[in-house]
Amino acid sequence: MRGFASLSLLSSAWLTGQLVYGSQEHNKSLRCRCLYGDPCWPSEADFAQLSLELSHPLVKPTPLAQPCYLATTSRAHSSTCSIIAENWDNGTFRSDHPGAMEAPNFETFTSRDGELHACFLNSTLAPTTSHNPIDHSKHHRILLSNFFAQPEALAFGKTEQEVRNELGPNASDALVKSKIFEGNRPSNSIMFPLLTPATLGALIALYEHKIFTQGVVWGINSFDQMGVELGKVLAKNILKQLDKPEDVTGHDSSTTGLIHYYQKWRKE
């Protein structure tokens, strides 16, 4: 535990120094990222050209709140924006949106003022020693090289000139824009000597406490999940039906099939 704590502090100190240096060198903008409607946002023609240069066509999931940015240009957009605003805190409404999977990468990087403090903090974890040191830990060193590279990439990014030097003079503007990374992105790096039960428990406690602290700051109960509560209510009824297949009633075909499979193959 002492090793875990000290290495975490050292890692945090190293990363903080790196990010301070990175923000000094790459402080062109305090915006987390280029937002829809900004001059730096690629045009439809840019996206179309980039899609032609890829092996698979691009999928275009639009941000959930996009109609609200366009509400002043269309009555239809204004009406849609009202629906979005009413359901913004509805988890089912948000997860059903085709762009839901991009939420960690898009929504957490945007805010009303676009300041860097609103950015999502990327976290990486790594032990210094592997439990399976294959070929003198060659595989583990490959993984660690990526672990060290990610915060450096987030801090310093890649400039347009670096991209053009890499791609050559014949690269399209759309391809060049897709490979530019501004940098100056904060991240957390946690290292520990070896993944042990105690270290794993400390990591779990750390992330659980992070969720608790966020709830206190935002004034919400982070662990009052109605969906989990509903599952526990349903579980009480299912528990009474696990003895015999004929007891399993009142469920959909998928749930019934899963319970019957369990009853058939259990050894107890």
Q: 3-class secondary structure for the chain?
A: CHHHHHHHHHHHHHHHHHHHHHHHHCCCCCCCCCCCCCCCCCCHHHHHHHHHHCCCCCCCCCCCCHHHHCHHHCHHHHHHHHHHHHCCCCHHHHHCCCCHHHHHHHHHHCCCCCCHHHCCCEEEEEECCCCCCCCCCHHHHHHHHHHHHHHHHHHHCECHHHHHHHHCCCCCHHHHHHCCECCCCCEEEEEECCCCHHHHHHHHHHHHHHHHHHHHHHCCCCCCCHHHHHHHHHHHHHHCCCCCHHHCCCCCHHHHHHHHHHHHHCCC
Same domain, yes or no: 188 and 257: no
The answer as to whether 84 is a domain residue is: no
The answer as to whether 262 is a domain residue is: yes
Same domain, yes or no: 108 and 152: yes
The answer as to whether 45 is a domain residue is: yes
Q: 3-class secondary structure for 27-86?
A: CCCCCCCCCCCCCCCCCHHHHHHHHHHCCCCCCCCCCCCHHHHCHHHCHHHHHHHHHHHH
Same domain, yes or no: 253 and 166: no
Q: What does pTM read for this prediction?
A: 0.48
Same domain, yes or no: 48 and 110: yes
Same domain, yes or no: 140 and 38: yes
What contacts 164, CB < 8 A, 6 or more positions away? Answer: 171, 176
Rounded to whole angstroms, how far apart are CA atoms 247 and 136?
56
Per-residue pLDDT tens listing for the chain (268 residues): 333 333 333 333 333 333 333 333 334 444 555 666 778 778 888 888 888 887 767 767 677 777 777 656 666 677 888 888 888 777 667 666 765 544 444 444 443 344 444 344 567 899 999 998 888 899 999 999 999 998 898 889 899 999 999 999 999 988 888 888 888 888 889 999 999 999 999 999 998 998 888 888 877 777 777 767 888 889 999 999 999 999 999 999 999 999 999 999 998 7
Q: From residue 69, how far is each of 41, 108, 120, 184 by CA, in Å?
A: 14, 17, 22, 26
Q: Sign of the C-alpha dihedral, residues 223, 105, 87, 91?
A: negative
Q: How many domains does the chain have?
A: 2
Give the structural domain span for 118: 2-63+99-193
Rounded to whole angstroms, how far apart are CA atoms 107 and 84?
14
**CATH label of the domain that carries residue 263:** 1.10.1390
Rounded to whole angstroms, how far apart are CA atoms 182 and 177?
11
The answer as to whether 242 is a domain residue is: yes
